[in-house]
Amino acid sequence: MSTFCRATLNFVPGAPAPGAARPQREVEILDGRLAELPGWQECGFQLVQHASAVADWDDEAQLSTTHHPEMEELAREMTGADVALVSGHIKRSPDTAQRHSQLSPITFVHSDFADTHVDIIRSSYRNARPGSAETLARQGLTADAVEQARRIVILQFWRNIGPAKMDYPLAFCDARTVRREQSRAFHVTNYAGTGASFDALGILAPDDASDNAWYAFPELSPDEVVAFRTYDTDIVREGGTYFTPHSAFRDPEVPVGQPARRSIELRATCLFV
């Protein structure tokens, strides 16, 4: 397999303490374009060709009216879910990072949701949090559909909307090489000023850097998207690794900010009724 680069990743300490340094490991990041990967259901992530109809990635109205529905359709096709709901997005760029530091690239190994996240999912639609009521209406649903779903999967999408080569690309860990016990929940309050509070997962450093397999996709275009699983109620119940660790990392060939990363992320809540 071909190597993308070697990079230093930051992990979370096993016994977190205020101001504790994050353990680091130098890892080999493989070129996902050249690897024989099985797809998101097995390894947690997958590169997908997807040409969006969005003409201006800075047009927030167009993102809501065009991009959210088209990603709902892609999520439904990929998962086989009866319905997929996208109620918001996150953009990371120098401009958004100036508005809130949590919109900078996240440079430690994490996944977005702890195993109890299903309660927050249902609450967000039951209590009509920003974007959720509009999303349900677009699908002709009520919050009962979320409450009664027998299975809920969150499939996330990461798309580069800036230069093909960037300072902080995203790396994904093969979920088959991570044990659930390697994760630690931590609480996030008022994420990026949105009012969202939830438990996310930090990932512990492996004993040996080669224990986990890391991949990145060089020079992603806006017509490509990386899909990755961050939650699945079935796998949670089974006690398996339902998350996909990921982290931004420094591309050694690109000076910081020259060019800076510009990306958009969306989370599709996929309902199996």
Residue 14 has pLDDT above 90, yes or no: no
15 within some domain:
no
* 24-31 vs 214-216, strand pairing mode: parallel
18 within some domain:
no
144 within some domain:
yes
What pLDDT score does 132 carry? 86
More confident residue, 239 or 22: 239
| Strand ranges of the sheet holding 3-10, from the earlier edge strand across to the other edge | 3-10, 24-31, 214-216, 170-173, 246-248, 110-111, 198-203, 183-188
20 within some domain:
no
Confidence of residue 22 (pLDDT cuts 50, 70, 90): confident
Confidence of residue 185 (pLDDT cuts 50, 70, 90): very high
Confidence of residue 19 (pLDDT cuts 50, 70, 90): low
> How many structural domains is the chain composed of?
1
> Chain-wide mean pLDDT for the chain?
94
Residue range 255-268, pLDDT digits in tens: 999 999 999 999 99
Confidence of residue 73 (pLDDT cuts 50, 70, 90): very high
Residue range 95-145, pLDDT digits in tens: 999 999 999 999 999 999 999 999 999 998 888 777 788 899 899 999 999
Question: For residue 205, what are the domain limits?
Answer: 3-10+27-272
Average pLDDT over residues 202-206: 96
What pLDDT score does 18 carry? 61
21 within some domain:
no
Residue 15 has pLDDT above 80, yes or no: no
17 within some domain:
no
Q: Which one, of 180, 158, 178, 177, lies nearest residue 169 by Cα?
A: 158
52 within some domain:
yes
Which tokens hold the place of 194? 């949105």
158 within some domain:
yes
Most confident of 71-80, 185-194, 206-215: 71-80
Q: Is 54 left (phi over 0), alpha (psi -120 to 50) or beta?
A: beta
pTM: 0.95
Residues sharing a CB contact under 8 Å with residue 185, sequence separation 6 or more, in sequence order: 114, 115, 199, 200, 201, 202
